[in-house]
Amino acid sequence: MINYGRQSLNSRDINEVLKVLKSELITQGKKINEFEKDLNKKFGSKYCNVVASGTSALHLAGLSLGWNKNDIILTSPLSFIASANCILYSNARPDFADIDKETFTIDPNCVEDKIKFYKKKGKKIRSIVGIDYAGHPCDWLSLRYLANKHNISLINDNCHALGSAYNRNFKYAVKYADIVTQSYHPVKAITTGEGGSILTNDKNLYLKIKSYRSHGIEKNNSMMKKNGLWYYEMQRLGFNYRITDFQCALGISQLKQLDKFIRKRNKIANKYNQVFQFNSKLTIPGVKKDVVHSYHLYPLQINFHKIRLNKKDLFIKMKKKGINLMVHYIPIHLQPYYKKKFHYKFGDYPISENFYRKECSLPIFANLKDSHQNLVIKKLLEYIK
């Protein structure tokens, strides 16, 4: 089966994991710090905490910023549910701003409209969570301007965009955002199996996140010198969001290959683009000037009103040929839980909803074979005639 995404592992990755599994410490050992240092170097951050998942990274980001029940957090409706769920974990109120038609990332104009909307009601947005959808960076310059103007903290949900560049800068994420979260799920650009990280240039946020990551516990040399080598203190209600050493060993090995993986993804995307760009029934992903797209996803829009098949039938036909398409995403505000809790409805975010109707994610990952991509192209063109 040709899936929309999957991990790309080699013998070196496997050997690095085996080394740790044969060592004394398979968790809370040296590989944690080593991976964090490598991530700081790669993405230009001063501080890093590696954690259990991209979801736990977002949760800890909100906790470190002190989100509470009185806060409104703005994000994109076009994301996986975790982006909004993590706001609820902090008892804050999620709300959405619609997306840009070309990049599918949160639209700064819609963000500004929401800021004004709440200001008229005597309320203030506490944070903005921008999602670098599919690997295309948000308009971070505009988002940073709005954040500074209205004293709003800014989070980059960077889970899709490892290896992307904004304004030709591959280390853009921590330049614009107060906190950057990443994911290393198997379908992402690099993987640790499950895993994630939080990058920041703010030492106070880093220390809070480090404590929250491990039960709210703090332990240092001065404490142990005064009270004993066993001594530790729980300073806040934290969680077990730790990651293992063997996962970090895999991450270290994978990170060395990130640039190669992104080149391969771009090669695959370029081939799709060349075939599909002049087909009136299809719309290829847009890419802004001075951006390097990392193509975590290849979100193709299909104008179903121009073909005989509907979306459901196309997926079935492609699966029968061994091809698993996917949709990214059902807009969060249309999920039953969010509709019931916050009274969202169809029509609230029309650009995201229209995109959802058309979007189909085609297979794209570093080890996708040419023959498999050719089959995807051949069958898709056959079915949309």
Tokens 């470190």 -> residue: 64
**Answer CATH for 258-383 from 3.40.228.10, 3.40.190.10, 3.40.50.1260, 3.90.1150.10:** 3.90.1150.10
Pairing of strands 196-200, 217-218: unpaired
Query: Using 50, 70 and 90 to split pLDDT, how confident is the model at 274?
Result: very high
Please list, in sequence order, all residues whose beta carbon lies within 8 angstroms of the beta carbon of residue 211, skipping any fewer than 6 positions away.
217, 218, 235, 236, 238
Check pLDDT > 90 for residue 293.
yes
Q: What is the pLDDT of residue 202?
A: 99
CA 185/CA 243 separation, integer angstroms:
13
Of 205, 194, 233, 199, nearest to 217 by C-alpha is: 233
Query: What tokens appear for 385 in the block?
Result: 């005639």
| 11-255 and 258-383: identical CATH topology | no
pLDDT, tens only, 67-76: 999 999 999 9
> Which of 82-96, 108-122, 196-210, 215-229 shows the lowest per-residue confidence on average (mean pLDDT)?
215-229
pLDDT, tens only, 142-188: 999 999 999 999 999 999 999 999 999 999 999 999 999 999 999 99
| Mean pLDDT of the 97-107 span | 98
Q: What is the pLDDT of residue 224?
A: 85
Check pLDDT > 90 for residue 320.
yes
Check pLDDT > 90 for residue 276.
yes
Of 249, 210, 199, 242, nearest to 31 by C-alpha is: 249
Query: What tokens appear for 101 in the block?
Result: 């038609």
| Mean pLDDT of the 367-380 span | 99
Check pLDDT > 90 for residue 380.
yes
pTM greater than 0.75 (yes/no): yes
CA 62/CA 41 separation, integer angstroms:
24
Domain 11-255 is in which class?
A: alpha beta
> Which of 130-139, 227-236, 320-329 shows the lowest per-residue confidence on average (mean pLDDT)?
227-236
Q: What is the pLDDT of residue 341?
A: 98
Cis peptide before 329 (omega within 30 of 0): yes
DSSP SS3 for 117: helix
pLDDT, tens only, 212-269: 999 999 988 998 899 999 999 999 999 999 999 999 999 999 999 999 999 999 999 9
Check pLDDT > 90 for residue 195.
yes
- The dihedrals phi and psi of 25, each to the nearest 5 degrees, come to -110, 120
| Mean pLDDT of the 185-204 span | 99
User: Average per-residue pLDDT in the chain?
Assistant: 98
Q: What is the DSSP string of 324-352?
A: --B-S---GGGSHHHHHHH---TTSSHHH
Tokens 């991509």 -> residue: 373
Write the CA distances from 292 to 41, 65, 126, integer angstroms. Answer: 19, 30, 30
Q: Where exactly are the structural domains of the chain?
A: 11-255, 258-383
Of 363, 365, 366, nearest to 377 by C-alpha is: 363
Contact 4, 325 (CB under 8 A): yes
Q: What is the pLDDT of residue 266?
A: 99
- The dihedrals phi and psi of 244, each to the nearest 5 degrees, come to -85, 165
Q: What is the DSSP string of 62-97?
A: HHHTT--TT-EEEE-SSS-THHHHHHHHTT-EEEE-
Check pLDDT > 90 for residue 366.
yes
Contact 293, 287 (CB under 8 A): yes
CA 232/CA 221 separation, integer angstroms:
10
CA 141/CA 176 separation, integer angstroms:
7
Q: What percent of the chain has pLDDT over 90?
A: 98
Could you tell me how many residues make up the chain? 385
Q: Which residues is 359 bridged to in the sheet?
A: 301
Q: What is the pLDDT of residue 309?
A: 95
Pairing of strands 282-283, 125-131: unpaired
